[in-house]
């Protein structure tokens, strides 16, 4: 049977919420011995009510505690409800927890409901009218202003039928007017745990209201908390006592989890799509200060944050203002004492540490927009603009903001959707448009701000222009050297994206192996290396000396005297030959002809085909060289991973690294 809405009770302690639910559904939601002994609800209770219209289905009912000491449990139950039944006892009227529960429902985004005036049989008709007037005054200016007020007495079938009919009418009307809580199956799955226990023969069971996404029996899930994630699997799903194969958003569900002990799951934890939602210590948010506050909510205020079913101490860092007047809405960064998992778009409540006259401890609430990556300054116009974009209805603006929020390193394309308060399909469409319009750039599975890439590109151009001026004959800079010259902390993946875009536009060009390979050099696209006649002549003489030397070439520092060249020309010639792949630098002093090293490798492999080890004496025989050349050559082949040292000998490490790898060593 389809669950069409989640209905929550609200109201002062001992005003008859649990009795009302039991009369409507036949289910006693007080399951604890302490609750039955004291006659009040301590924990959340759950029931369901078949709806009596042509659409059929049912409403899930969350029965919350009314005592001030259990407001945390009340908020946990109210998070995710679509409609509220505000319960007021006719013999007592509106009480402090009535007002605080109403405030909490408003802050959590509930937009429809009704008032049930219970215990009508305990008062005279005239007093009942006064109680109704009291209720109307209390709900004035709230979403319950003008809402139905129905009287109720336990044990009266006509009252029970009237309230059940009212619930059916409320659900249908809310559906028709789009007033049910917005939930999407096109988002990561999220269930905030309000209960976790073990059942004989089943193991761990958790219950909660599904806030977004879908999950099916057999699916992998993550149990997320401030301490990290624990992998689990959905063994079974129940909705109101019935086993189902799949559950979507907006349902009261019980999940039977395999792979985790019930002691590892607690109220406040989140069951989510693996890897989609992570705990954060800072949340960018919209924040509304309760209109009944005696004074403004100030920057730096400390409070208890209630989000989902979690409670955590938080500091309110206001953005763009030093204080928030009662009833005003602004932006804030909530800094948590412990990390918590939050779904962007999720509602929260803030409670202070001192009770307000007639309204409990609730001071405000709002909507979480995104997990913050860094602390914002109060007067940061950028932070305010970011929050405004995330809180609006412009998905493109929110996608741009989400990428900006990730910083220079960009964000994985697959991770952007879970980070924003919109459906995945809408975000994907917005990203496609932003990339096509050049506002975002995509590369390597990540999204970047085009403006940020442009800044790095300009810096790369400046570095290369300076290098070309210093060394006009050089082919360019290796990618890694270019990265460190731009900024040592620049991510290599980000530079690769910048260069790929620059090569495509013709601003940069590859020299050498090309295509971003490790042997390639980057130059400006408009630049061509220029060697003088003296450089060309010196390069040819050094190259011939290396060919003649074979495996015993002259040391670089000895070449100027032997070849009658100035040292600067020799150094340049060696660099040109190495850059061109003609020579291989083994040490600072020793450079070898490339073909001589390839021939040596072939002889070494022939030796290893018949012998496990190659000792130093045998290596000297193979090379025909003394220790002056043999030791550096042995270490070179270790570095290129052809050989591995075993005592004073070497053995073959594995398959040949290939000619390209030898060249680049």
Each domain of the chain, given as residue ranges in start order, spans 3-177, 190-272, 450-524, 536-665
**Structural contact between residues 167 and 7, judged by C-beta atoms closer than 8 angstroms:** yes
Q: How far apart are CA 330 and CA 243, in angstroms?
A: 44
Asked if residue 277 lies in contact with residue 341, where contact means CB atoms within 8 angstroms, the answer is yes
User: What pLDDT is recorded for position 210?
Assistant: 87
> Mapping DSSP to helix (H, G, I), strand (E, B) and coil, where does residue 303 land?
strand
Determine the pLDDT at residue 341. 92
- Identify the pLDDT of residue 79: 61
Q: Are strands 297-298 and 323-324 parallel, antiparallel or unpaired?
A: antiparallel
Determine how β-strand 203-212 pairs with β-strand 246-247.
Answer: unpaired
Distance CA 129, CA 147 (A): 16
What is the per-residue pLDDT for 75?
A: 65
In this structure, what are the phi and psi dihedrals at residue 402, rounded to the nearest 5 degrees?
-65, -40
For residues 3 and 60, the answer to whether their CB atoms sit within 8 Å is: yes
CB neighbour burial string for 16-36, b if at least 16 within 10 angstroms, e if fewer: bbbbbbbbbbebebbeeeebe
How many whole angstroms from its chain centre is CA 603? 54
**Whole-number pLDDT of residue 546:** 94
* Cα dist from 252 to 69, 79, 291, 482, 664, whole Å: 24, 12, 32, 56, 61
649: three-class secondary structure by DSSP: strand
Would you say 6 and 250 are in contact if contact means Cβ atoms under 8 Å apart? yes
What is the per-residue pLDDT across 589-642, written as a single tens digit (0 to 9) for each? 999 999 999 999 999 999 999 999 999 999 999 999 998 999 999 999 999 999
Same fold, 190-272 and 450-524: no
Q: Which backbone phi and psi does 548 adopt, to 5 degrees? A: -65, -40
b (16+ CB within 10 A) / e for 109-121 = bbbbbbbbbbbbe
pLDDT in tens, 400-447: 988 887 877 888 888 888 888 888 899 999 999 999 998 998 887 889
φ, ψ of residue 7 to 5 degrees: the values are: -115, 135
- Helical pair 594-608 and 616-623, crossing angle rounded to 10 deg: 130
In angstroms, the CA 139 to CA 144 distance is 6
Pairing mode, strands 83-89 and 149-151: unpaired
Cβ contacts of 36-41, under 8 Å, gap ≥ 24: 39/14, 40/13, 40/14, 40/65, 40/66, 40/67, 41/17, 41/65, 41/66, 41/67, 41/70
Helices (H), 323-449: 381-391, 395-406, 413-416, 424-436
CA distance 312 to 281: 10
How much is the pLDDT for 333? 96
CATH topology of domain 536-665: Arc Repressor Mutant, subunit A (1.10.10)
Listed in sequence order, the residues at least 6 apart from 329 whose beta carbon sits closer than 8 Å to its beta carbon are 286, 287, 288, 289, 366
| CATH of region 190-272 | 2.40.30.10
Dist. CA 321–CA 289, nearest whole Å: 13
Long-range contacts of 297-304 (CB under 8 A, 24+ apart): 297/323, 297/324, 297/326, 297/363, 297/364, 298/322, 298/323, 298/324, 299/323, 299/378, 301/352, 301/363, 302/353, 303/350, 303/351, 303/352, 303/353, 303/363, 303/364, 304/350, 304/351, 304/352, 304/353
Contact 43, 17 (CB under 8 A): no
Kindly report the backbone phi and psi dihedral angles of residue 199, in degrees, each rounded to the nearest multiple of 5, phi listed first: -115, 135
Q: Which fold has domain 3-177?
A: Rossmann fold (3.40.50)
**Residue 374 pairs with which residues in a beta bridge?**
none
Report whether 67 contacts 10 (CB < 8 A): no
According to CATH, what is the number of the domain 450-524?
Answer: 1.10.10.10
Exposure class string for 532-547: b at 16+ Cβ within 10 A, else e: eeebeebbebbbebbe
Residue 638 burial (10 A CB sphere; 0-12, 13-18, 19+): middle
Contacts 24+ apart (CB under 8 A), 573-580: 573/535, 573/538, 573/539, 573/541, 573/542, 573/543, 574/542, 575/474, 576/473, 576/474, 576/531, 576/535, 576/539, 577/539, 577/542, 577/543, 577/546, 579/474, 579/475, 579/512, 579/521, 580/475
Rounded CA separation 387/371 (Å): 11
Question: 71-78 and 96-107 are packed helices; what angle lies between their axes, rounded to 10 degrees?
Answer: 40
DSSP 418: G
According to DSSP, the β-strands at 220-225 and 228-239 are antiparallel
DSSP state of 56: -
Rounded CA-CA distance 503/510 in Å is: 8
Q: Determine the distance from the C-alpha atom of residue 432 to the mean position of all C-alpha atoms in its chain, rounded to a whole number.
A: 20
User: Which has the closest alpha carbon to 100: 69, 71, 129?
Assistant: 71
Which residue positions in the chain have pLDDT lower than 50?
A: 31-43, 66-70, 514-519, 656-665
Contact criterion met (CB below 8 Å) for 492 and 516: no
């Amino acid at each position: 049977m389809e669950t069409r809405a989640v209905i929550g009770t609200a109201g002062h302690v001992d005003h008859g919420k649990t009795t009302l639910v039991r009369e409507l559904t036949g289910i006693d939601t007080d399951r604890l011995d302490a609750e039955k002994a004291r006659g009040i609800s301590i924990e959340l209770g759950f029931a369901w009510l078949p709806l009596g219209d042509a659409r059929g289905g049912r409403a899930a009912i969350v029965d919350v505690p009314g005592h001030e000491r259990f407001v945390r449990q009340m908020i946990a139950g109210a998070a995710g409800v679509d409609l509220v039944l505000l319960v007021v006892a006719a013999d007592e009227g509106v009480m402090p927890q009535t007002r605080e529960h109403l405030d909490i429902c408003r802050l959590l985004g509930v937009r429809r409901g009704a008032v049930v005036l219970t215990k009508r049989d305990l008062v005279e008709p005239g007093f009942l009218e006064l109680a109704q007037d009291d209720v109307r005054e209390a709900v004035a200016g709230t979403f319950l202003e003008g809402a139905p007020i129905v009287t109720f007495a336990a044990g009266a079938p006509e009252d029970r039928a009237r309230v059940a009919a009212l619930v059916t009418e409320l659900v249908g009307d809310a559906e028709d007017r789009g007033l049910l809580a917005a939930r999407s199956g096109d988002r990561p799955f999220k269930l905030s745990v309000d209960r976790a226990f073990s059942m004989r023969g089943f193991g761990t069971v958790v219950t909660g209201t599904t806030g977004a996404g879908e999950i099916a029996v057999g699916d992998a899930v993550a149990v997320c908390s401030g301490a990290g994630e624990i992998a689990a699997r959905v063994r079974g799903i129940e909705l109101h006592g019935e086993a189902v194969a799949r559950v979507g958003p907006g349902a009261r569900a019980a999940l039977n989890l395999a792979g985790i002990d019930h002691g590892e799951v607690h109220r406040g934890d989140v069951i989510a799509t693996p890897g989609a939602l992570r705990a954060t210590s800072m949340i960018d948010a919209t924040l509304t200060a309760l209109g009944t506050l005696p004074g403004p909510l100030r920057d730096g205020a400390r409070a208890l944050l209630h989000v989902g079913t979690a409670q955590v101490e938080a500091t309110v860092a206001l953005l763009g203002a030093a204080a928030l007047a009662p009833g005003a809405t602004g932006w804030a960064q909530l800094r948590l004492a412990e990390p918590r998992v939050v779904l962007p778009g999720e509602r929260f409540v803030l409670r202070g540490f001192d009770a307000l006259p007639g309204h409990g401890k609730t001071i405000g609430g709002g909507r979480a927009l995104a997990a913050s990556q860094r602390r914002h300054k109060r007067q940061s116009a950028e932070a305010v603009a970011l929050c405004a974009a995330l809180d609006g209805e412009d998905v493109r603006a929110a996608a741009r903001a989400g990428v900006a929020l990730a910083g220079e390193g960009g964000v994985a394309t697959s991770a952007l959707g879970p980070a924003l308060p919109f459906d995945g399909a809408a975000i994907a469409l917005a990203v496609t448009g932003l990339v096509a319009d050049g506002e975002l750039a995509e590369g390597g599975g990540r999204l970047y701000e085009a403006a940020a890439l442009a800044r790095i590109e300009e810096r790369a151009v400046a570095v290369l222009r300076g290098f070309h001026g210093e060394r006009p004959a050089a082919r360019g800079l290796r990618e890694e050297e270019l990265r460190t010259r731009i900024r040592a902390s620049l991510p290599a993946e980000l530079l690769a994206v910048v260069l790929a875009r620059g090569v495509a536009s013709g601003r940069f060009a590859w020299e050498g192996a090309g295509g971003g390979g490790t042997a390639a050099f980057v130059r400006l696209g408009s630049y061509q290396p220029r060697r003088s006649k003296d450089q060309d002549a010196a390069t040819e003489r050094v190259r011939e000396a290396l060919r003649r030397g074979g495996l015993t070439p002259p040391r670089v520092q000895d070449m100027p005297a032997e070849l009658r060249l100035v040292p600067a020309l020799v150094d340049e010639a060696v660099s040109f030959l190495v850059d061109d792949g003609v020579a291989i630098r083994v040490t600072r002093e020793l450079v070898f002809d490339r073909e001589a090293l390839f021939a040596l490798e072939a002889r070494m492999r022939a030796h290893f085909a018949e012998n496990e080890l190659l000792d130093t004496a045998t290596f000297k025989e193979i090379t025909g060289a003394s220790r002056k050349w043999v030791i550096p050559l042995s270490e070179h082949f270790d570095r290129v991973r052809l050989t591995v040292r075993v005592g004073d000998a070497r053995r073959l490490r594995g398959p040949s690294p290939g000619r390209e790898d030898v060249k680049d060593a």
